[in-house]
Amino acid sequence: MRKGHLSTYISKHTVAIFLFGLGLIVLLNSCYSSKKEKKPGSETEIQTVSKSLPKAPEAALPPYMADGRKVYRQVCLTCHQANGKGVSGLNPPLTQTDNVLGDKNRLLEIIIKGSEANLKDNTSEYANVMQGYGMLGDKEIANVASYIRNSFGNKAEPITVEEVTSFRSVNKK
Amino acid sequence: MSKTSHKLFDLRAKWLFLFVIILLFSGCKEKQENSVKEPVLKISPDNEGIIVPDGFGVMKVADSLGAPRHIAVNSNGGVYLKLRKPIDGEGIIYLEDQDGDGIADSKKGFADYGGTGIYLDNNYLYASSDEEIFRYKLNAEGEVTDTNSPDTLVTKLVSYRTHATKSFTMDGDGNIYVNIGAYSNACQETDRTLGSPGVMPCAILDSAGGIWQFRSDKFKQSYGEGKRYATGLRNVVGLDWNNQLNKLVVTQHGRDQLNTLYPDLYDTETSAKLPAETMYIINEGDDAGWPYIYYDQFQNKKILSPEYGGDGKKTAGENAIDPITTFPAHMAPNALLFYTGDMFPEEYKNGAFIAFHGSWNRAPEKQKGFLVAFVPFNDGKPSGEWQIFADGFAGIEEVSSPSEANHRPTGLAQGPDGSLYVSDDAGGTLFRIVYNKK
């Protein structure tokens, strides 16, 4: 009896319910996609980013920016400086240079092998040597490489963990 | 049609008006220049942004000079500047001020090599590349006339990427004292590398990391003809002969990167404060202890370097000399000058001016030391703490990276009237500081 009542109700309002459902789906979908646009990556990653960096604009950045920044502060900042401009005559800048913004493998080689790697054009210009940071994990290298390619006014395609892994397997010595 | 011509007329009228005004002003200027005859120094009303003690004034002698390093002034007030890199094939610049207003009004260049060191005596101008020392004959006016064929006094000094510049001074007795900087931070097996141990004994010291003595009247001298006068000095950029002591005095750039190389022993704050930049009186045969020790100005001790088993507390270097004065870490003393002029007040006489280039290795802490310091001396020994003499070269309150600094003091020279000249290799400026209190 109740069942019958419900079924008649549904059949009576099929069109309205269908429209309501459709509306709901569109609404949810649009919410979801706008969220996705702002923050790619999993829900948990978004939370950790926004917790450690409460500022709204930074929370909107891809996760490699925050993770790469951590690595940068630990191993790169002293020489290349907070603004990435380096030190005249001593440590090269990370801005406006093919070593950073050009071929991804060139940057990976410098990070992993140090300044003896691929800096023939710069040797007379900057006095200090840089050690290789091959002891860092593939993810840390991908993060820091992507971070410097997209900081200090730089804009270049990020480097993925897979790209670091494949670079290492090809350049094993 | 009429509208367009109207516009055209408007435009013409504007140009005419502008032209008349320019004419008017240029006329004024000419008149002014003609009426001023006696040399009056054009001290900048704002001292070029440089903060100096009461009674002192600053002027800009010249700018757009590239990267001038050490400087020397002849008896006529002409200034020789050594450029780090030659510009259009000219690595030495000569500035003259014909009308005596203190602003350079002619500029000549020669010498196709870059470098840091330059020195004048009564007969010659001496200048260094990163491997050689040359000398040029002076005429009666203290000018180099034959710029193309200098004598090569010293040659084939080691020059690698690190600490390659060859600063030098002379003792007035025919001897040249040249810094051969260590091509390393702390003589690790692999330079500036986490976990790389210190080499024992440090082989770099055979050909670098000290002061070498050569004669000023012999040609093509190298290690065989010279003498290792002092060792254990990482890199000396500022050095001067002290005539009261009749001894060489040097300022050393202390080591870098205690935190980045030994994060377990030194945090970033400690690393920004250690070690001291040091000033030494040098006697023949002295050892200042690099790379085995560094000087901790808070404990007032020579501390065993972590590369050689140190932990920040263990002392070492019992045979190494002690500094006669210390400065905050990483400020980079790039020039030393004992003031012998009569222009400045009495307390400056025979004291030491030091040009600090400013730090980079304090990061992530704020940078420091874009200034000229003064240390009072009495009977050839420091008689007080170091003090800031001229400040504000950076042009900004807080410097987080040296690339933000407008000027970085690098060279010092004393003019015949007792003025103090300061070169800046970041902004390419030559400053002159005078005392003008009546």
Residue B6 lies in domain: 1-35
Q: Which residues contact A142 (CB under 8 A, 6 or more apart)?
A: A64, A158, A159, A160, A161, A163, A164
Clarify whether residues B11 and B79 are in a common domain. no
Please answer yes or no on whether B401 and A83 come within 8 Å at the CB atom: yes
Minimal-distance CA residue of chain A relative to B163: A127
CB atoms within 10 A of CB B362: 24
DSSP per-residue codes, B157-205: ----STT----EEE-SSSEEEEEE--SSSS-BSSTT-TTPPBPSS-GGG
Shortest Cα–Cα distance, A49 to chain B (Å): 22
Clarify whether residues B202 and B286 are in a common domain. yes
Instruction: Specify the pLDDT at position A103.
Output: 94
How far is B396 from A90, CA to CA, in rounded Å? 22
How far is B294 from B277, CA to CA, in rounded Å? 10
Instruction: Specify the pLDDT at position A58.
Output: 53
Q: Are B430 and B409 in contact (CB under 8 A)?
A: no
Residue A140's region, left for phi above 0, alpha for psi from -120 to 50, else beta, is alpha
Clarify whether residues B19 and B146 are in a common domain. no
Instruction: Specify the pLDDT at position B34.
Output: 46
Minimal-distance CA residue of chain A relative to B267: A74
Residue type, B5: S
- As given in the structure block, the two tokens for residue B422 are 């300061």
Shortest Cα–Cα distance, A84 to chain B (Å): 9
- As given in the structure block, the two tokens for residue B254 are 């202390």
How far is A152 from A92, CA to CA, in rounded Å? 14
**Mutation site, B83, B161, B187, B234, interface A, largest A CB count within 10 A:** B161
- Closest partner residue to B162 among A81, A82, A128, by Cβ? A128
Clarify whether residues B315 and B396 are in a common domain. yes
Minimal-distance CA residue of chain A relative to B259: A78
How far is B389 from B56, CA to CA, in rounded Å? 10
Tally of structural domains, chain B: 2
Q: Are B157 and B165 in contact (CB under 8 A)?
A: no
Please answer yes or no on whether A131 and B192 come within 8 Å at the CB atom: yes
Clarify whether residues B17 and B51 are in a common domain. no
User: What residues of chain B lie within 8 A of the CB of A93, using their CB?
Assistant: 403
Q: Tokens 């397997």: give the residue.
A: A169
Which of B212, B138, B152, B220 minimizes the C-alpha distance to B177? Answer: B212
Clarify whether residues B81 and B100 are in a common domain. yes
CB burial of residue A28 (10 Å; 0-12, 13-18, 19+): exposed
Report domain extents, chain A. Answer: 2-38, 43-170
Element holding B355 (H helix, E strand): strand B352-356
- As given in the structure block, the two tokens for residue B32 are 């002014």
Instruction: Specify the pLDDT at position A60.
Output: 79
Residue type, A133: Y
**Mutation site, B360, B361, B370, B408, interface A, largest A CB count within 10 A:** B360
Clarify whether residues B241 and B381 are in a common domain. yes
Minimal-distance CA residue of chain A relative to B268: A78
Instruction: Specify the pLDDT at position A116.
Output: 76
Q: Counting runs of H as helices and runs of E as strands, what totals does chain B give?
A: 3, 29
Instruction: Specify the pLDDT at position A33.
Output: 40
Class of domain A43-170: mainly alpha
Task: Please give the order of strands across the beta sheet that includes B90-96.
Answer: B68-73, B79-87, B90-96, B106-110
- Between A43-52 and A63-71, two packed helices, what is the crossing angle to 10 degrees? 50
Q: Are B211 and B236 in contact (CB under 8 A)?
A: yes
DSSP per-residue codes, B20-51: HHHHHHHHHHHHHHHH--S------TTGGG-B
Residue type, A102: G
- As given in the structure block, the two tokens for residue B316 are 């070492």
**Span between the terminal Cα atoms of chain A, in Å:** 79
Please answer yes or no on whether B162 and A87 come within 8 Å at the CB atom: no
Please answer yes or no on whether A89 and B164 come within 8 Å at the CB atom: no
How far is A45 from A62, CA to CA, in rounded Å? 10
Shortest Cα–Cα distance, B420 to chain A (Å): 26
What is the SS3 assignment for A97?
coil
How far is B253 from B59, CA to CA, in rounded Å? 29
Please answer yes or no on whether B260 and A78 come within 8 Å at the CB atom: yes
Clarify whether residues B17 and B111 are in a common domain. no
Instruction: Please check whether residue A29 touches B, CB under 8 A.
Output: no
Residue type, B334: N
pLDDT tens across the length of chain B (438 residues): 344 445 544 555 555 555 545 544 554 444 444 444 456 899 999 999 999 999 999 999 999 999 999 999 999 999 999 999 999 999 999 999 999 999 999 999 999 999 999 999 999 999 999 999 999 999 999 999 999 999 999 999 999 889 999 999 999 999 999 999 999 999 999 999 999 999 999 999 999 999 999 999 999 999 999 999 999 999 999 999 999 999 999 999 999 999 999 999 999 999 999 999 999 999 999 999 999 999 999 999 999 999 999 999 999 999 999 999 999 999 999 999 999 999 999 999 999 999 999 999 999 999 999 999 999 999 889 999 999 999 999 999 999 999 999 999 999 999 999 999 999 999 999 999 999 886
- As given in the structure block, the two tokens for residue B346 are 């009495």
**Span between the terminal Cα atoms of chain B, in Å:** 68
Residue type, A164: V
Q: Are B289 and B234 in contact (CB under 8 A)?
A: no
Count how many pairs of residues, chain A against chain B, have C-beta atoms within 8 Å. 61
**Mutation site, A70, A87, A119, interface B, largest B CB count within 10 A:** A87
How many angstroms separate the most distant Cα atoms in chain B?
95
Clarify whether residues B155 and B21 are in a common domain. no
Residues of chain A with pLDDT under 70: 1-59, 117-124, 173
CB burial of residue B380 (10 Å; 0-12, 13-18, 19+): middle
Give the CATH number, domain containing residue B422: 2.120.10.30
User: What residues of chain A lie within 8 A of the CB of B191, using their CB?
Assistant: 129
β-sheet bridge partners, residue B335:
B355
- B-proximal residues of A, 46-105, CB under 8 Å: 73, 75, 77-79, 81-83, 85-91, 93
Clarify whether residues B198 and B58 are in a common domain. yes
Instruction: Specify the pLDDT at position A1.
Output: 40
Using a CB–CB cut-off of 8 Å, the residues of B that contact A are 84, 161-164, 190-194, 196, 257, 259-260, 360-361, 363-364, 400-404, 426
Q: Are B157 and B178 in contact (CB under 8 A)?
A: yes
How far is A23 from A38, CA to CA, in rounded Å? 23
Distances (CA, A) of B139 to A146, B73, B96, B124, B145: 60, 14, 15, 9, 7
Clarify whether residues B295 and B198 are in a common domain. yes
DSSP per-residue codes, B296-352: ETTTTEEEE-GGGT--SS-B--TTSPPPSEEE-TT--EEEEEE---SSS-GGGTT-E
Residue type, A76: C
Clarify whether residues B63 and B25 are in a common domain. no
Please answer yes or no on whether B404 and A83 come within 8 Å at the CB atom: yes
